[in-house]
Amino acid sequence: MAKKASELNVDLVFVAPDDPLSWGLVDRLQTEGMAAFGPSKAAARLEASKAWAKEFMRRHNIPHPHAATFDEVEAARDYVRSARTQLVVKADGLAAGKGAIVTASMEEALDAVDQLMVQGAAGDSGKRVVIEERIGPREVSGHAFSDGRTVIPMPLSCDHKTVFDNNEGPNTGGMGVYSPPWWAAPDLPDTILETIIQPAVEGMAEEGTPFKGVVYPGIMVTERGPQVFEFNARLGDPETQALLMRLDSDLLDIVEACVNGRLHETNVHWSDRPSVCVVIASSGYPGEYRTGLPISGLENVDRDVQVFHAGTRTAEDGRIVTAGGRVLGVTATGATLAEARDKAYANVARIHFEGMHYRRDIGLQSS
């Protein structure tokens, strides 16, 4: 990939997904003399190892749920048997969204340990597991740009993880997002910035692995305040769709400022208008689904609504067809969250493909 970028005379590479960040693509591009946006391999550990991230949070007093790491299945089982709270069992490494199992009983938690450590449900990523206290109830995604020292936060946003309305069914990569959270106390963004994002970026710099790129903590708002259940080292999907609709500044200027360590000189403006992104998925997702189904109605979408293509391709006859589980992200803004939601859904209704599925309650549930 680095070789290709150099052949193409690329000026700047925005490394967006978790896998190449964890392999060290940013370091590689920089060695080849190219500008790259994203954390180094060392900094991307914040996402690539949940066990490492927990230790890092402990070192820097970043609020997080009680957690323990295990390499031995018997020790993990003993821990589950003696726990007094509900637990979440997670693969240590990257697992394409399939490595975290939220449980409600000891039996379920023992089964989750088995799935990850014995049956290998998340492959090698699950050989080591992190078992943590289940916290909640409200989930929020915090995102911020960082050049390694300066931090500029983005608005807060909320993803809906489960496939069906009322937060039912299995978890997905995300079925829709709204921003900002209507339920949040006015000081929540500042609290998250001061207790989570700034200490994380300062901590990474202190440890000699400055974090450049987008840092994105997954947060539960609890009675004890906001707590981090994971760090991501990149933009979230579909959070980005809702966030970029609210960005009034030029993204490239911000990215270049991060790469050049000049974020302190950059002004970033966000729109006050709330946004909503509704994901349209294939029938059967997150399980098995068909692809190649023609999509109609895209030409009827309002000009101020963005339809982000996630799983589509152009067929030989020129028609746009489905090519993935999550197919489209229909994203609108409005004077109020209700207006943004109405506009997004009015446009979803103009789009059609066989078996298409979407949640009807994006922005109504807290997350």
Ligand X SMILES: Nc1ncnc2c1ncn2[C@@H]1O[C@H](COP(=O)(O)OP(=O)(O)O)[C@@H](O)[C@H]1O
Residues forming the site for ligand X (CB under 6 A): 65, 88, 90, 97, 99-100, 102, 132, 134-136, 139, 161, 218, 220, 229-230
Q: Would you say 141 or 306 has its CB closer to ligand X?
A: 141
- The least distance separating ligand X from the CB of residue 134, rounded to whole angstroms, comes to 4
Q: Give the pair of three-digit tokens for residue 336.
A: 């109020």
Q: Would you say 98 or 246 has its CB closer to ligand X?
A: 98
Q: Which does 134 bind (CB under 5 to 8 A by kind): Mg ion, ligand X, none?
A: ligand X
Neighbours of 352 (CB within 10 A): 14
Q: Which does 99 bind (CB under 5 to 8 A by kind): Mg ion, ligand X, none?
A: ligand X
- The least distance separating Mg ion from the CB of residue 233, rounded to whole angstroms, comes to 12
Q: Which does 139 bind (CB under 5 to 8 A by kind): Mg ion, ligand X, none?
A: ligand X
Q: Would you say 102 or 346 has its CB closer to ligand X?
A: 102
Q: Which does 226 bind (CB under 5 to 8 A by kind): ligand X, Mg ion, none?
A: none
Q: Would you say 140 or 154 has its CB closer to ligand X?
A: 140
- The least distance separating ligand X from the CB of residue 256, rounded to whole angstroms, comes to 29
- Cis amide prior to 294 (ω within 30 degrees): no
Only one residue has tokens 């974020």, namely 263
For the stretch 253-259, contacts whose Cβ atoms lie closer than 8 Å and that sit 24 or more positions apart, written own/partner, are 254/145, 254/152, 255/12, 255/14, 255/37, 256/12, 256/35, 257/147, 258/37, 258/145, 258/146, 258/147, 258/212, 258/213, 259/12, 259/35, 259/36, 259/37, 259/147, 259/212
- The least distance separating ligand X from the CB of residue 349, rounded to whole angstroms, comes to 28
Q: Give the pair of three-digit tokens for residue 134.
A: 């289940």
- The least distance separating Mg ion from the CB of residue 134, rounded to whole angstroms, comes to 15
Q: Would you say 85 or 296 has its CB closer to ligand X?
A: 85
Only one residue has tokens 């496939």, namely 163
Q: Would you say 25 or 233 has its CB closer to ligand X?
A: 233
- DSSP bridge pairs for 113: none
Q: Which does 298 bind (CB under 5 to 8 A by kind): ligand X, Mg ion, none?
A: none
- The least distance separating Mg ion from the CB of residue 284, rounded to whole angstroms, comes to 22
Backbone angles phi, psi at 74, to 5 degrees: -65, -40
Please count the residues of this chain forming the interface with Mg ion, following the rule CB under 5 A.
Answer: 1
How far is it, in rounded angstroms, from Cα 216 to Cα 231? Answer: 6
Q: Which does 92 bind (CB under 5 to 8 A by kind): Mg ion, ligand X, none?
A: none
The one-letter code for the residue type at 232 is N
Q: Which does 54 bind (CB under 5 to 8 A by kind): Mg ion, ligand X, none?
A: none
Q: Would you say 161 or 343 has its CB closer to ligand X?
A: 161
Q: Give 272: exposed, middle or buried? Use CB within 10 Å, 0-12, 13-18, 19+.
A: exposed
Show the DSSP H helices in the chain as ranges.
2-7, 18-23, 25-31, 41-48, 50-59, 73-82, 106-113, 188-192, 198-206, 239-244, 251-259, 337-348
Q: Which does 225 bind (CB under 5 to 8 A by kind): ligand X, Mg ion, none?
A: none
- The least distance separating ligand X from the CB of residue 78, rounded to whole angstroms, comes to 20
Q: Which does 136 bind (CB under 5 to 8 A by kind): ligand X, Mg ion, none?
A: ligand X
Strand ranges for 150-232 from DSSP E? 151-153, 158-159, 162-164, 168-171, 176-179, 212-222, 225-232
Only one residue has tokens 């799983």, namely 311
Of all residues in this chain, which one has the CB nearest to ligand X in the complex?
A: 100
CA nearest to 153, candidates 197, 200, 199: 197
- The least distance separating Mg ion from the CB of residue 171, rounded to whole angstroms, comes to 9
Only one residue has tokens 């200027």, namely 253
- The least distance separating ligand X from the CB of residue 229, rounded to whole angstroms, comes to 4
Q: Would you say 53 or 330 has its CB closer to Mg ion?
A: 53
Site for Mg ion in 211-230 (CB under 5 A): 218
Contact between 280 and 344 under an 8 Å Cβ cutoff? The reply is no
Binding site for Mg ion (CB under 5 A): 218
